[in-house]
Amino acid sequence: MNDNLISGDPDIEKREMDLHQLMIHSGDPFVGKTLQESGIRDKYNCMIVGVDEGQKNLSPIKPSHILTAGDILWIVGEKTDIDRLLSLQQA
């Protein structure tokens, strides 16, 4: 099975991923943007694994979902990438 893995990063198995909640606030730079436009994946190397819009269950993830204040994103990424993403809310 290891013979079938293709990796450009020899340390990939040593990396730790964190799961984190990110609540979208009215002044955040993501408000009014789609998930794709937000750059969370491309610029911050974090994967959005769910969107909680105040319902009992997570909503299906669609790149066209427009972020609004109150949305809670479930994101996975390395701690340094998540910290960079969270620092936008403190700016």
Q: What are the tens digits of pLDDT across the range 46-91?
A: 999 988 876 666 767 888 989 999 889 999 999 999 999 988 875 5
Q: Which of 8-17, 30-39, 46-55 has the lowest mean pLDDT?
A: 8-17
Determine the pLDDT at residue 67.
Answer: 92
Helix (H) or strand (E) holding 20: strand 18-23
The answer to whether residue 1 is domain-embedded is no
Determine the pLDDT at residue 3.
Answer: 57
Helices (H) and strands (E) in the chain, counts: 2, 3
Helix (H) or strand (E) holding 82: helix 79-90
pLDDT of 6 higher than 70: no
CB 44 within 8 A of CB 83: no
The answer to whether residue 8 is domain-embedded is no
The answer to whether residue 24 is domain-embedded is yes
Domain range for 29 is 16-90
Alpha-carbon dihedral angle through residues 73, 75, 80, 85, given to the nearest 10 degrees: -30
Tell me the whole-structure pTM to 2 decimals. Answer: 0.75
Question: Looking at the 3D structure of the chain, how many domains does it have?
Answer: 1
CATH number of the CATH domain containing 69: 3.30.70.1450
